[in-house]
Structure 1
């Protein structure tokens, strides 16, 4: 869903809001069955499965909110200016649950609370938040010389508080050769040819929650007073408090895009 308003000075204000929800639930019941050897007249037992129920539940909720301000201006028919400022917030929430149990009196009852033995219950949950401030500026002189600058200031809850934010700039220049006078003889064959160069960095926060200490629960081989195996909890692991943004930097030193006028073909070259 988005809304757009035209503000004074022909500034466009745009708001986007989106929600994505996914839920998956399963419920399976396995009845008791006996496997026998058909060649044995005594019907000797060769295998058996016990009645059991397993239930799982998975839920994912993603929400995003974007808002931008965009201003464009053309001066003296040769200066094109395009400025954009934006802010965004994204939230990701995930949870899952699973339950398993055996010991049912018959095949008629198939709910978890009807079982009596070999109980196994588990579940996990996670959430993360991403907040961004970003901007872009474009300038074109006579559609011949092109300049662009981008910047992002991103914050992710996946990192410790003092390393949560990162700044990621990028810039590009372009040269539209087709606008030069010496290119005029080729205009009937090629109507657009541009060379460009870009340099910049982007942030990657697609990592686990490695800076948060973790605790694991397990079961021993020792039987307690009530006849069940004893549980224990392991010591928390050490968190990585130096974890922060991955900052890959890319350089595109040259590029050309060609559009042929008559054959309507397109080619692209990068190095």
Structure 2
């Protein structure tokens, strides 16, 4: 929790953080941000002969609440009353805003290998976000990967190992989700920062400021990857090569086809698909130094 007092004065008047008597008075802003995260995780390891198994399962919950309060008064009798109550109530103002969001997740992972050369991994997530309507809050995101360490096979030439000590083939496919958008895109949100004339006086009012969309859902990205890892001279030099195909579907973004004459902010929609396809090549070296005495 952060309580922050901010004094506003004329540029040519008093130094900062001093009450501006007869000027802009005193403004106070109180910001509070609460972000608890709770999770439970279990792991299980088992080896039987040349087989190795590891299982992980867990759940996680996140909640965020940001609250801001603002108040000001103009008329103060002296410079010593550095609290809002010290000013007159004749010229005062206040405002406040609160934003909330939450995320709930269940996840698991399974790892298996045989003699450390045949590798298999499976992952799964089941996520729910408060940013989506009730019938679209939950989404399932699986992935699977496999590897083969050819350099551990009996047919791999021992003389070749003196130069190329490691060769591993990899393949994977998986999906991830994205829910990083505004907090209330599917709900009708009203703002009270508007006044309306009624019987020759201005009355406080509220109106809708953005178009809601109750059909939005999770954005998803599916990645297919094939790769190879190489190690030379006892891994003093390593290299890797990957070919990937990445497809992002149901991209979350403001609608570009929403007419401006409606007078509302454009709704968030699932808009289009984006594909990235390519390859990458990387290498690294390790230098060993010897000390002489």
TM-score, normalisation: structure 2:
0.69
C-alpha displacement of 1:236:
6.6
Distance in 2 between residues matched to 1:103 and 1:126, nearest whole Å: 32
In structure 1, the partner of 2:172 is 198
In structure 2, the partner of 1:176 is 149
Q: Is the 8 A contact 1:31 1:107 kept in 2?
A: no
1:70-100 CA-to-partner distances (Å, cap 9, x unmatched) read 22222322x2222222222222222122223
Distance in 2 between residues matched to 1:164 and 1:221, nearest whole Å: 37
Pick from 129, 139, 151: which aligns with 2:112?
Answer: 139
Q: Is the 8 A contact 2:22 2:76 kept in 1?
A: no
Distance in 2 between residues matched to 1:112 and 1:191, nearest whole Å: 73
Q: Is the 8 A contact 1:33 1:49 kept in 2?
A: no
In structure 1, the partner of 2:215 is 242
Distance in 1 between residues matched to 2:242 and 2:189, nearest whole Å: 46
In structure 2, the partner of 1:97 is 69
Gaps of 5+ in 2: 14-20, 244-293
1:132-179 CA-to-partner distances (Å, cap 9, x unmatched) read 221111221222221111111111222111111111111111121211
Instruction: Describe how 1:64-143 pairs up with structure 2 within 5 A.
Output: 64-77=37-50, 79-113=51-85, 114-143=87-116
Pick from 186, 189, 193: which aligns with 1:211?
Answer: 186
1:163-218 CA-to-partner distances (Å, cap 9, x unmatched) read 11111111111121211232432323343332211111111122222112111112
Gaps of 5+ in 1: 1-22, 36-47
Q: Is the 8 A contact 1:177 1:183 kept in 2?
A: no
Q: Which has the higher strand share?
A: 1
TM-score, normalisation: structure 1:
0.74
Q: Is the 8 A contact 1:104 1:115 kept in 2?
A: yes
Q: Is the 8 A contact 2:22 2:75 kept in 1?
A: no
Q: How many residues align?
A: 233
